[in-house]
Amino acid sequence: MVRIRMKSMGRRHRPFYRICAVDSRAPRDGRTIEELGWYDPLVRNPEARESLNVNRIRYWLSVGAQPTEKVAAILKRHKITKPAPGEPWELPEPTAANPQSSTSA
The pLDDT-based confidence of 95 (bands split at 50, 70, 90) is low
Residue 17 domain-assigned? yes
Number of domains in the chain: 1
Mean confidence (pLDDT) of the chain? 87
Q: What domain range includes position 8?
A: 2-82
Residue 26 domain-assigned? yes
Residue 104 has pLDDT above 60, yes or no: no
What is the Cα–Cα distance from 101 to 80, expressed in whole angstroms? Answer: 34
Residue 100 domain-assigned? no
Residue 33 domain-assigned? yes
Q: Output the 3-class SS for 55-101.
A: HHHHHHHHCCCEECHHHHHHHHHCCCCCCCCCCCCCCCCCCCCCHHH
The per-residue pLDDT for 47 is: 86
**Under 8 Å between Cβ of 19 and 39:** yes
Q: pLDDT tens-digit profile of 44-70?
A: 998 899 999 999 999 999 999 999 999
Give the pTM.
0.79
Residue 88 domain-assigned? no
Residue 35 domain-assigned? yes
| CATH code for the domain of 46 | 3.30.1320.10
